[in-house]
């Protein structure tokens, strides 16, 4: 795994010391909130509804056990004993005290972590496929390039004041698990006809108030050209992006207003101009970084125990059916640990649970953990022989929910329980939907279904790309939930369609239940997923499910 | 005739722990909205907000929120402000367990 170099370490420590002084000056009143706010945001510190919130980057979602234990320690020492994992592969602490934050940052620096560039108009934490380095379908581990991008973008003098925030995601496989098409830049590892590994470069995706699917800027950029090419994109955007209107400032709007051809030409010109200046240093660095992402020493063991346990224990069988994914090494599996127990807050893990996951990674998982954008924790490298023991340990820690990819594996942003920008709550809706599907015992029959909830138009909960998206709004002083259908965040990214008028907080869960149980009657057979059925039939039959009384009214 | 002024309270987050607080008539910051000064005059509301904002070493993000008089004192009108008097709905955290932090 990549270990921070001396430069990173010195830089992070210097930033903590600087922030400590700024906090002191804020507390003694010599800095006003207006002066302090940009400084705290640069260090990942937000002020929410009931308290501060510290957002910690987990670059490309990768953690080692020592880091996970430190996150648990920070939760116990300075927060309320838990952390919230988010769709941006971050962890958020909801209750830090201002005076403690420098110590929290210091504790993070002790394990090579920080909260820099988790906010502000900079290049944010680069996100990656959470199965990177493990997935059977992967061409190449995308994290080396993610790390190169991180090093290049961190404190990059040209890019600290972009028109708006800038998010990059990378994936190493054709199956897009990193929602690359909803990012400012999405990079997909591909092979060209000659068999060389390079990147398809997608730009201008984004969610928020104006959701857009990214467009392919170039089908193939070689590895050697990638950094200058990405820099060319960011430079063109830095000059062309609108600074007059925050809602029109993201690159998706720049692209929309100028057209992809213009942007492509400008990027190519800029690329030609700066390419020579890179002089190969980035490639030397990349080669170094790639070494630190070399695969662990996979072992060979008998898997009879695993098969026997599957036969003997239906609960284990159910869990292994839903929570495992195909690994590239023979005999191995990728374990997704659900932190979406029915009725619990999606993405929250207690400090004890964090320690259990760290121990499991250390003991059985080649020392690696991942945070997924779907707010779960991954053990990417596990031998099948160890799965029964892992399952038993997860069960004890209340972490064995068998619901990955199912109706109750809901993404929900913090919403109005925490977020100062929210227009409605999202967490309780997620809790109620999951509880309801658990009561109905139908989610395994329903199969793959992605429900995603945001508490405002900013769409941090990815509702636009949920098969069922829920957006919480404030309608005349009452919480109201709008449903979108048919969204998709994979390689076939689609923005969901609005289904019709919104529902009250009391009516939204029954509405979702009607949709899902109604789908069971609409599907061709058990193999046709919710999304496929929606694509085949379109909005109409789902609308009838949602608004049963309307048809009658029309007919009358 | 100008639209009727909806009564207001001055609210903010306490600087040190971020807890929601309300400005009282005698210039304290209380963790309870019921202690707040209910302001019925627009010009006075603007003045109180300016005074609140000047207290940089005590609070952050002061603003005026709609309120009405209830049995025990001012009450929030909007659900967002009501949540701020309690805390999150997913855990027994925040004021609903212990209205602490007086400044
Ligand atoms: C205090 C909490 C938060 C604040 C103030 C905040 C703010 C925002 C804003 C203003 C946008 C819209 C950006 C635009 O359209 O230009 C946005 C988008 C987004 N945020 Fe958040 N957010 C918060 C929490 C979160 C959390 C918890 C997550 C992850 C679960 C998250 C992930 C995202 C994502 C994925 C998007 C949409 C993608 C895009 O940038 O287009 N945010 N956020
Ligand atoms: S979508 Fe809105 S409510 Fe949810 S976290 Fe983002 S800004 Fe807050």
Q: What is the mean pLDDT of residues A42-50?
A: 93
With respect to residue B37, please indicate whether it lies within any of the assigned structural domains: yes
Structural tokens at position A474 = 């404030």
pLDDT value of residue A60: 81
CATH number at residue A386: 3.90.480.20
Average pLDDT over residues B45-67: 95
Residue A239: alpha-carbon gap to chain centroid = 28
Q: What percent of chain A has pLDDT over 70?
A: 97
Claim to verify: residue A273 and residue A376 sit in the same structural domain: no
Q: Is any ligand 1 atom within 6 A of the Cβ of residue A208?
A: yes
H or E element at residue A360: helix A351-364
Assigned domain for A128 exists: no
End-to-end CA distance of chain B: 40
| Cα–Cα distance for residue pair A30/A35, rounded to 1 Å | 10
Number of neighbouring beta carbons within 10 Å of residue A218 = 18
Q: Quote the pLDDT of residue B99.
A: 57
Q: Is the pLDDT of residue A179 over 60?
A: yes
Please report the residues numbered 19 through 38 in chain A whose beta carbons come closer than 8 angstroms to any beta carbon of chain B: 26-29, 31-33, 36
Task: Band the pLDDT of B103: cuts 50, 70, 90.
Answer: very low
Average pLDDT over residues A298-311: 93
For position B42, what pLDDT does the model report?
95
**Average pLDDT of chain A, as a whole number:** 92
Q: Per the domain annotation, does A161 fall within a domain? A: yes
The residue written with tokens 């002084």 in the block is: A21
Report whether pLDDT(B80) > 80. Answer: yes
Looking at residue A8, its pLDDT comes to 73
Is this complex scored with an ipTM above 0.90?
yes
pLDDT band at A7 (very low <50, low <70, confident <90, very high): low
Domain of residue A327, residue span? 308-396
Q: Is residue A303 part of a domain?
A: no
Residue A120 has pLDDT above 70, yes or no: no
pLDDT > 90? residue A10: no
Q: pLDDT, tens digit, for every residue of A23-38?
A: 999 999 899 999 999 9
Domain check: are A378 and A460 in the same one? no
Answer whether A47 sits within 8 Å of B88, measured CB to CB: no
A542 assigned to some structural domain: yes
pLDDT at A249 over 70: yes
- Same domain (yes/no): A446, A322: no
Q: Is A58 exposed, middle or buried (0-12, 13-18, 19+ CB in 10 A)?
A: buried
Q: How far apart are CA A295 and CA A134, in angstroms?
A: 8
| pLDDT higher than threshold 50 for residue A396 | yes
Cα A418 to averaged position of ligand 2 atoms, centre (Å): 9
Question: Any idea what DSSP says for residue B11?
Answer: E
What is the Å distance from ligand 1's center to A463 Cα? 12
- Looking at the structure of chain B, the number of domains it has is 1
Average confidence (pLDDT) over A529-546: 97
pLDDT, residue A4, reads: 60
pLDDT (0 to 100) of residue A58: 85
Classify strands A90-93 and A127-128 as parallel, antiparallel or unpaired.
unpaired
What sign for the dihedral angle of Cα A69, A73, A76, A78? negative
Nearest CA in chain B to A31: B56
Which single residue is written with the structure tokens 């945070």? A371
Confidence of residue B101 (pLDDT cuts 50, 70, 90): very low
Total tally of structural domains belonging to chain A: 4
Residue A16 falls within a domain, yes or no?
yes
Tens digit of each residue's pLDDT (9 = 90 or more) over B1-53: 567 899 999 999 999 999 999 999 999 999 999 999 999 999 999 999 999 99
Higher pLDDT, B99 or A434: A434
DSSP symbol at A382 = E
Q: Which ligand is nearest to the CA of A207?
A: 1
Chain B residues in contact with A28 (beta carbon < 8 A): 57
Query: CB neighbours of A157 closer than 8 A, spacing ≥ 6?
Result: none
Is A45 in the same domain as A85? yes
Which residues form the domain of B22?
8-90
In-domain check, residue A411? no
* Count of CB atoms situated within 10 Å of the CB of A304: 10
The β-bridge partners of A412 are A453
Residue A166 in domain: yes
* DSSP track, B24-88: -TTS-EES-GGGSPPB--HHHHHHHHHHHHT-TTTEEEEEEEEEEEETTEEEESSHHHHHHTT--
Identify which ligand lies nearest to the alpha carbon of A457: 2
Q: Do A352 and A431 sit in the same domain of this protein?
A: no
Residue A308 confidence (pLDDT) above 80: yes
Residue of A413, A414, A427, A452 best suited for mutating to test ligand 2, as the one with most atoms within 8 Å of CB: A413
Test site for ligand 2: of A167, A454, A481, most ligand atoms within 8 A of the Cβ: A454
Residue A87 banded pLDDT, cuts 50, 70, 90: confident
pLDDT in tens, A205-229: 999 999 999 999 999 999 999 999 9
The pLDDT value recorded for residue A555 is 42
User: Is the domain of A377 the same as that of A453?
Assistant: no
Distance from C-alpha of A403 to C-alpha of A37, rounded to nearest angstrom: 40
- Ligand 1 in reach of A460 Cβ (< 6 A): yes
Nearest bound ligand to CA A210? 1
């Amino acid at each position: 795994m990549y270990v921070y170099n001396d430069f990173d370490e010195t830089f992070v420590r210097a930033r903590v010391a600087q922030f400590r002084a700024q906090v002191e000056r804020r507390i003694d009143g010599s800095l006003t909130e207006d002066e302090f706010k940009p400084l705290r945001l640069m260090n990942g510190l937000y002020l929410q509804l009931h308290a501060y919130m510290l957002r910690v980057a987990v670059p490309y979602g990768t953690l080692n056990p020592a880091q996970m234990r430190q996150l648990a320690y920070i939760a116990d020492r300075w927060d309320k004993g838990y952390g919230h994992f988010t769709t941006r592969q971050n962890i958020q602490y909801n209750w830090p005290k201002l005076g403690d934050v420098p110590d929290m940052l210091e504790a993070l620096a002790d394990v090579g972590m920080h909260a820099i560039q988790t906010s502000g108009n900079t290049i944010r934490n680069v996100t990656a496929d959470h199965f990177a380095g493990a997935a059977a379908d992967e061409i190449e581990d995308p994290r080396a390039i993610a790390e190169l991008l991180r090093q290049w973008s961190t404190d990059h003098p040209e890019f600290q004041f972009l028109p708006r925030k800038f998010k990059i995601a990378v994936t190493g496989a054709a199956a897009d698990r990193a929602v690359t098409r909803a990012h400012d830049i999405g990079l997909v590892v591909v092979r060209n006809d000659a068999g060389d590994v390079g990147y398809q470069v997608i730009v201008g995706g984004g969610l928020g108030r104006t959701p857009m699917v990214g467009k392919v800027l170039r089908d193939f950029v070689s590895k050697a050209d990638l950094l200058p090419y990405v820099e060319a994109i960011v430079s063109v955007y830095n000059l062309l992006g609108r600074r007059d209107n925050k809602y029109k400032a993201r690159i998706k709007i720049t692209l929309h207003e100028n057209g992809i051809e213009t942007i492509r030409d400008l990027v190519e010109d800029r690329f030609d101009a700066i390419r020579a200046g890179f002089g190969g240093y980035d490639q030397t660095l990349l080669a170094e970084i790639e070494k630190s992402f070399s695969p662990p020493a996979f072992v060979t063991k008998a898997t009879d125990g695993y098969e026997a346990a599957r036969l003997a224990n239906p609960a284990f069988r159910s869990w292994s059916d839903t929570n495992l994914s195909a690994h590239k090494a023979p005999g191995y599996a990728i374990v997704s640990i659900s932190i979406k127990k029915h009725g619990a807050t999606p993405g929250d893990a207690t400090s004890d649970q964090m320690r259990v996951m760290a121990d499991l990674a250390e003991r059985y998982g080649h020392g690696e953990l991942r945070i997924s954008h779907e707010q779960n924790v991954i053990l990417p490298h596990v031998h099948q022989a160890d799965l029964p023991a892992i399952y038993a340990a997860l069960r004890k820690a209340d972490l064995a929910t068998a619901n990955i990819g199912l109706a109750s594996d809901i993404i929900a942003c913090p919403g109005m329980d925490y977020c100062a920008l929210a227009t409605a709550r999202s967490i309780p809706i997620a809790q109620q939907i999951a509880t309801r599907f658990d009561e109905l015992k139908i989610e395994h029959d329903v199969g793959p279904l992605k429900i995603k909830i945001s508490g405002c138009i900013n769409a941090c909960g990815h509702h636009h790309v949920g098969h069922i998206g829920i957006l919480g709004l404030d309608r005349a002083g009452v919480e109201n939930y709008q449903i979108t259908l048919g969204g998709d965040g994979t390689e076939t990214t689609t923005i969901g369609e609005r289904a019709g008028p919104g529902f009250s907080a009391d009516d939204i869960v029954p509405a979702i239940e009607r949709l899902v149980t109604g789908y069971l009657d609409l599907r061709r057979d058990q193999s046709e997923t919710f999304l496929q059925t929606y694509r085949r039939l379109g909005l109409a039959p789902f609308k009838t499910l949602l608004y049963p009384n309307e048809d009658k009214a029309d007919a009358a | 005739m100008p639209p009727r002024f909806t009564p207001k309270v001055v609210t903010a987050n306490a600087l040190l722990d971020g807890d929601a607080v309300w400005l009282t008539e005698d210039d304290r910051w209380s963790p309870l909205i019921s202690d707040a000064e209910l302001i019925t005059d627009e010009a006075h509301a603007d003045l109180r907000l300016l005074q609140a904002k000047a207290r940089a070493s005590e609070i952050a993000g002061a603003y005026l929120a709609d309120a009405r008089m209830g049995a025990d004192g001012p009450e929030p009108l909007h659900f967002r402000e009501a949540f701020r008097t309690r805390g999150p709905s997913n855990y027994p955290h925040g004021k609903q367990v212990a209205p602490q932090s007086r400044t």
